[in-house]
Structure 1
Amino acid sequence: MNRSYFHALPQLRDAVRRVADAHRLPVDVRARLVLSVADAAADELGSGRPVELSTAHEDGSHDDSPVLAIALSAPQARRPLRVGDLPLPALTNGTDSVVWRVPVPQTAGSSVPSPSAGIDPTAERSSRAESQAINEELRAIIARTDALTAEYRRLKHELAETNGGVLALYVQLEERDEQLRKAHGKMLRDLEDALRPQPMEIDGLELAVHYAPAEANAPTGGDLYDWFALPDGNLHITVVDALGHGVGSTRSALNVTHAVRTLALEGHPLQSILERTHEILMPLAPELMATVLLARLDPATGKLQLANGSHPPALMLRADGTAEYLEVRGRGIGFPLPGSEELLHTEIHPGDVLILYTDGLTESRRDPCEGELRLIAAARRHAGGALAELPSAIAAEMHTVMLHPDDTLALAIRRSTPTAAVG
């Protein structure tokens, strides 16, 4: 180990350069080492206290290059040497000593000089040699910086190209997903349209319907209806709201409408149909839950019967503008004690409008009573127009205030004067 004391920065820098040159360190490493040693010693030398520089040659492992250890110590230091943010990181013992360990490059056929070579505190290069050394170090650092800058630009360009490709792929995938969603939605809408009967042409009655899913690209739901003419000429209407969303709830609603249609065509009394539907379906689908409203209307007389299983009440809007909800107590399919407790009997006069709907129309806020009041107001505002447009117009107004999206179904029936038979 070679050890020397220094009282001025120029001699210290020159000594470090001589050691670096003797061990064939790269110029950019030499520059970092010179700056780091000078920065660590600056406070002590500036205060007139000497520093000690020592070097030692350490053997690496069988796979590693030898290591040059450069140690800087300050015997009279009043505080630890400054080692933060040095160009070449160093190790410190926390007191007055700092050590740099630098790998020494090997050259085939040559030996590494002794670490003692070059350290002489009385020897100093000429000003010209010092300038040449500094210029050499600056050029090496600049070259290294330029190389890193070029590499950074190349990597940035490659990253931009990669990001561009990923973004383009992402856009393509999004477009494909959107196309698939639209195709899927259209297929489901076509299926739903096939399941939802079109308004019937019945002398003395006008019928209209509006249905909107909770999500445009997933149009299946548990809101379903059915209407058909019975053998006696009466019109039967079923409105179902099965629990849940999607294909599962559609299947549940279809099971209910099919069971009700079968029982109605077999001649079962209207009041018994809900309870009988529950008995038929529960063994097949024990998880099924649905609210149901049944209506039976005589087009000739306007006589109306209603049975209800936990469903929102029908709204009757009279020709004179008065309105009332037709309340019937009962419990739905899958509920305890299912069935309608009674039948409600009333009459639709010419010009009256009967509105049947699911809760997606009125439960736009947390207060169902507010929704029912808004429904009456909306029905009055739009009742003077064509009946075919009435359900959609009411739904559009009701959904200007919406707590959460839900499947929405609205049916409207208006009684007109039957066409006189031609004799």
Structure 2
Amino acid sequence: MLSASILAAFQHQFHYSPLLVRAPGRVNLIGEHTDYNEGFVLPAAIDKEICFAVGLNQTDTIRLYSFDKQELYTTAAAQVQRGNTLWANYLLGVVAQFQKRGITVPGFDCVFGGNVPMGAGLSSSAAVECGLAFALDHLLGTQLDRMTLAHMAQKAEHEFALVQCGLMDQFASLFGRQGQVVRLDCRSLEYEYFPFDTSRCHIVLCNSGVKHSLASSEYNTRRQECEQGVAVLRQHYPQIGSLRDVTLAQLQQHAAELDAVVLRRCRYVVEENLRVEAACQELAAGNLPAFGQQMYASHAGLRDDYEVSCPELDTLVELARPLPGVYGARMMGGGFGGCTINLVEVDHVEEFTRRMQQLYQQATGIPLETYQTTIVAGVSELPTVALT
């Protein structure tokens, strides 16, 4: 059991009893690259998670131990700054956010490790940030609400990991509910839960096994392209604040003024927001086949208009489409590799994973890893009593 291993490692390393916390990774059913355009997303927390054992150590030193890497990192609590140890930056960024709020963070010990596959697009980084933010809030008695913690975790990623992510990943890790997906309005931060019937359908992730180096540079380029589109459209419609405010009719009317690439980027975002809305209505009506069609349409947009897919992801979606019990499939996450998310009827899950492994290996020569996931609650404290 992961939490028992993390607890044992903490007690072996530091010789006292810590606070134990679990922070889940996330999937996003639909609504990709809409978050930084102030649009809509539909994530859920999943049962791949990072566990933390954290305790105040009565010194002025922070000691961080990566269970997965078997590495120890120490720094003075008063001198937290970005360093060359990449994994530590995610945690140090969180400490810095507390300090920026005028909260004194004393020395503490932290052991963390998890089963969120790295590089699969399940947002292990947000789980790391949110888990520590939750633990420190608890240990320091700061009583910050979950939305504040999500913003602090996001800023940690911006400032210490240097990734200009939207809020979705941190939000999903903190606000997940068992058996429900949550639609987040990335502008107003209003959110609404929708039931996801796990007795009918499972979420199966297929890991392409590739991570093309384009991902981070292209991510920032897409943001700029979207902003260019907004700047042109705002000359005609001053009320437009982001692509969230743009209609397809407005886009078509001024298509000639937009660079051809910028037009495609904007069209994808505007259409994806409409798909999230439609998909939520289908979920509420229990219409999984119709929900799946929105996923396929999302993938086509990501492939053709936003151009963040890659041959391996496209292959996975096309291989899944004709298999029995598959409602829908699409690439998930930033793109250029990582996973596809597949909605598969419960009775067909085993056959689906077997066939996909076989077909993908034949098509690409790459062995396929699959993960069956269930939808769980967000970040929470774990009891240590039962584990000792």
TM over 0.5: no
Say which structure, 1 or 2, has more relative contact order (CA 8 Å, 6+ apart): 2
Instruction: Find the structure with the greater CA-based Rg.
Output: 1
TM-score by length of 1: 0.21
TM-score by length of 2: 0.22
